[in-house]
Amino acid sequence: MERGALPLNGNIDPLIAMNIRLTRSFLAASFALAPLSGIRAADHMTDGEKAAAIITVGAFAAASAHARGHDQGPDYRNPGTSVTVSIYNAYGEQVPVYLYPRNGGWFGPRGEFYRTIPSVRYLSKMYGSQRPGR
Amino acid sequence: MKSSPLVFVSWTSVVLFASCAAPGRREFNALDSNRDKKVTEAEFFDHITSESFRALDADHDGKVTRKEWVAKESTPRSRRLFTTFDMNHDGAVVPAEFTASKTKRRQISNIFHTVDRNHDGGLEWNEVHSR
């Protein structure tokens, strides 16, 4: 097998294979540049672990791409289907936060997924006057 | 015994459904070792390291010798890692030594958090399969 090549067999889904190739390029560049950045001086992942991580992340990227093609995410262009939660911003003004129902849960404005509708307090931390973690 | 058309249609539906399942679902199920429909960071770490260890352990004796390591790890950097992981210097790496590195745990954690988009420490299929 070519050096650095992934142990892929011929049965893999073409969409997954494409995303694995893209992810491999991205992560390979990250691994190569990481020691230069000084953030991560040591690299303790074996080649096999990197390959396994790349295959997993690539498959998840393919799942995300599949969802885009099958309308599995929130439709931000159609606010009529959303639920509005009012919170207060840093100026004390009441502002709306839209939640979009999909896949048995809710998507927030930044694309984050909630299994149930989040509380006003939580959304206030995310989008309002309170900072997260306080 | 003659099978009814209903049975044939049912099996065909099952096969069609399986072939049309979303990409990434199989990988998600492989990661979800306790079948609670949520992949935690620990499951992600265990999957990545155990898959890699299994691939390195050619004779399946539960430990990786230097010979087995060099046979699978092609780059000079990853070959040098054997010395790092063989903490008791007995010439073999066992799973406990293989997973003990804090640096490795941090690296895999960083990869996990690139996928965990809502940063709740777990991955659900709805979160993975969303735009």
Q: Domain of B41: which CATH number? A: 1.10.238.10
Nearest to B42 by CA among B110, B117, B109, B131: B109
- Are A45 and A84 contained in the same domain? no
Low pLDDT (below 50) residues in chain A:
1-7, 36-40, 72, 131-134
Residue pair B82/B71 in contact (Cβ under 8 Å)? The answer is: no
A2: in domain: no
Asked if B131 has any chain A CB less than 8 Å from its own CB, the reply is: yes
- Are A51 and A90 contained in the same domain? no
Higher pLDDT, A81 or B69: B69
- Are A36 and A60 contained in the same domain? yes
B17: in domain: no
How many domains, in total, are found in chain B?
Answer: 1
Instruction: Give the B window 5-64 contacts with A, CB below 8 Å.
Output: 22-28, 31, 44, 47-49, 51-52, 55-56
Name the residue facing B114 among A48, A57, A111 (closest C-beta). A57
Range of the domain at B124: 23-128
Tell me whether residues B72 and A27 touch, CB distance under 8 A.
Answer: no
What pLDDT, on the 0 to 100 scale, is given for residue B116? 84
B9: in domain: no
What stretches of A51-129 adopt beta strand conformation (E)?
83-88, 94-102, 105-107, 113-114
* A116 class by beta-carbon count within 10 Å (0-12 exposed, 13-18 middle, 19+ buried): exposed
Give me the DSSP letters along B59-71: T-SS-EEHHHHHH
- Are A55 and A93 contained in the same domain? no
Range of the domain at A22: 14-69
Q: How far apart are CA A30 and CA A38, in angstroms?
A: 12
Q: Which residues of A touch B115 (CB under 8 A)?
A: 56-57, 60
Nearest to B124 by CA among A102, A24, A26: A102
- Are A65 and A20 contained in the same domain? yes
Tens digit of pLDDT for each residue in B70-92? 998 888 888 888 999 999 999 99
How many domains, in total, are found in chain A?
Answer: 2
